[in-house]
Structure 1
Amino acid sequence: MAIVRDEAIVLARTRFGETSLLVTLFTRASGPLRFLAKGARRPKSRFGNCLEPTNHVLAVYYRKEGRDLHLLSEAELLAGFGGLRASLLRLAYGYAIIDGLVGLKREETPAGGLFGLALEAFRDFESRREDLLEPAFWGFLLGALAEAGYRPELGRCAQCGRPAPVRGARFDPRAGGLVCSEHAAGGLVLSEETVRILRELASGAPPSVPLSARAAAEGREALRRFLEEHDLGRAPFRSLDLLAPKG
């Protein structure tokens, strides 16, 4: 049984027994791992308030090779990102980032890049204007997809490699991104605004203007279908769907 000291992001927690917690952490070195935090629910627990989702902690744990559950010994709070809890909208995006980490991490993907992107996003979302949170989340998701090896093709046709048009563009998740007119039999029609915004965000540029209702709908559907097509699930949008008005 190895003793490990590593940074981690708290993903989830559930009650276990009378006084303990089952905790899922996204560790910088190994990605998501599950832990038993003994006595974490006691009033004077050594874990304090460290084990809240989105918290950035320094964890000390016993890793049991070949086991799915490990033992959490200590946790020191490094950042609590309290600004995410200032509104339901900010908190929903915090959970969407968590869902993105879970969905995009694969065995062969190093965890460090995704870990760093998530911390940057948490800091950004604490104070960014609320009408810019949606495109900022797209930027995080596009960066995370690239880090995980699933970068959508937004500059050239994903089928033939020719420059992809801006006007009348189609996004084909199965092909891997935008497609030219000769390969546009399927896919989603995207407006010029949506294509421009996706390209800017994929380049790492921060969002500067709010999305129109059309661009918001198109971009979210394109990213959602891309995730589903590549078996990455729709989890990153699950928390945001809870905020959508019921028809």
Structure 2
Amino acid sequence: MEQLKLTAVVLRAVDYGESDRVVTLLSRERGKVSAFARGARASRRRFGGALEPFTLLAAELRTRPGSDLLTLESVTVRRGFGAIRGDLARIACAGYAAELARELVRDHEPHEDLFELVVEYLGALDVAAAVPAALRAFELASLRIAGLMPRLDGCARCGADVDGARPVRFDPGHGGVLCAACGPAASPGAPALSPDALRALLRLQEGGLAAAAEPLAPAVGREARAALSAFVEHHLGRRLAARRFLDEIGPLLGD
């Protein structure tokens, strides 16, 4: 058996049996891993409240022979991001970010840049209200890390320049925006992007979370949300549970 020391964010915690818990962690060192926390619900002395989602931990684990599931032996909270838990909009955004990160990567594949992105986004939610621009920036950065970045700076079908003065079709099946010539080839239901929405997405794609300081106009935000939601669902093959919850509290987010 191998002993491991990981720095990780709790993405999900699921109760198991009467007293145990299985947690999904995104670690800096080993990427996404799942771990069995024996007695986590029976004794708060061992793990306390450390195994709640959106918690940054220093964790000690060991491997289990013949299993990808690790055993969690001890944890120390590095940062609890406590302000997130007092605001429904922040909870919804953090939950969506955690589920998206969990679904985009395979187990036991290091993704230090995704780990850093999740920590950065949780840190932003911990100190300020949730805003649509930051969530769009997180989506775009996560997709880039997973090798699924939508093309926004040219036609995803033929590579031609896109007319930035007219609306364009955004087709997840083709991988991004389509020029005027390729627009008729868009899949049924492919959303449209106005010039303002396309410029906003390009800005967030290039600038990351730092670019989210400039807010999105409501109409632009709705277009950007629809486009990226369609893109994520196309590549994952389903709508994330956290996306549905996020849609329900949209007015709280100003989205």
**TM-score, normalised with respect to structure 1:** 0.90
1 CA distance for matches of 2:109 and 2:205? 19
Whichever residue aligns with residue 147 of structure 1, its letter is I
Report the counterpart of residue 86 of structure 2 in structure 1: 86
Q: Shift of residue 242 of structure 1?
A: 3.5
User: What does the per-residue CA deviation read over 1:39-86, in whole Å, with 9 as the maximum and x for residues that have no partner?
Assistant: 222344221121110000011111125414221101110010112123
Q: Does 1:220 align with 2:225?
A: yes
SS in 2 for 1:234: coil
Shift of 1:244: 4.4
Partners in 1 of 2:132 and 2:195 — Cα distance? 18
Is 2:202 aligned against 1:199? yes
In structure 2, the CA distance between the partners of 1:6 and 1:98, relative to structure 1 (3 Å rule), is: same
Question: Are 1:30 and 1:111, in contact at CA under 8 Å, matched by a contact in 2?
Answer: yes
**Would the alpha carbon gap of residues 65 and 242 (structure 1) be closer, same or farther in structure 2, given more than 3 Å must change?**
farther
Shift of 1:109: 5.7
Structure 1 counterpart of 2:13: 13
Correspondence 1:101-112 to 2 at 5 A: 101-106=101-106, 110-112=110-112
Aligned 8 A contact 2:30 2:109 in 1: no
1:128-184 CA distances to partner (integer Å, 9 max, x unpaired)?
344xx1110110110111111111111111112122222222211111111110000
Q: Which consecutive unaligned segments of at least 5 residues does structure 1 have?
A: none
Does the 8 Å CA contact 2:54/2:81 hold for their aligned counterparts?
yes
In 2, Cα distance between the equivalents of 1:44 and 1:142? 38
Deviation of 1:195 after TM superposition, in Å, equals 0.6
1:239 matched residue in structure 2: 245
CA 1:44–1:224 in 2, change beyond 3 Å: closer, same or farther? Answer: closer
How many angstroms apart in 2 are the aligned matches of 1:65 and 1:200? 47
Whole-angstrom distance in 1 between the partners of 2:226 and 2:63? 39
Equivalence map 1:141-152=2 (5 Å): 141-152=139-150
Hey, what's the Cα distance between the residues in 2 that align with 1:145 and 1:83?
Answer: 26
Q: Match of 1:153?
A: 151
SS in 2 for 1:76: strand
**1:42 maps to 2:42:** yes
The match for 2:134 among 113, 133, 136 is 136
CA distance in 1, matches of 2:67, 2:42: 26
What RMSD in Å do the two structures reach over aligned CA positions?
A: 2.0
* Farther-moved stretch of structure 1 (208-217 vs 194-203): 208-217
Match for residue 178 of structure 1? 177
Matched positions, count: 243
Contact persistence 1:109–1:148 (CA under 8 A): no
Question: Does 13-22 or 112-121 show the bigger shift?
Answer: 13-22
TM-score by length of 2: 0.87
How high is the sequence identity, in percent, across the aligned residues? 33
Is 1:52 aligned to 2:52, yes or no? yes
Contact 1:95 1:239 in 2 (8 A): no
**1:239–1:65 CA distance, 2 compared to 1 (3 A):** farther
Structure 1 pair 206–3 and aligned structure 2 pair: CA distance change class (3 A): same
When you count helix as a share of all residues, which structure comes out higher?
A: 2
Mean Cα deviation higher: 6-15 or 234-243 = 234-243
SS at match of 2:60: strand
Structure 1 residue 95, shift from structure 2 partner? 0.6
Alpha-carbon distance change, 136 to 65 in structure 1, aligned in 2, over 3 angstroms: farther
Q: Deviations over 1:6-49 (max 9, x none)?
A: 11111122323333222222222232222221222234422112
- Corresponding residue number in structure 1 for 2:235: 230
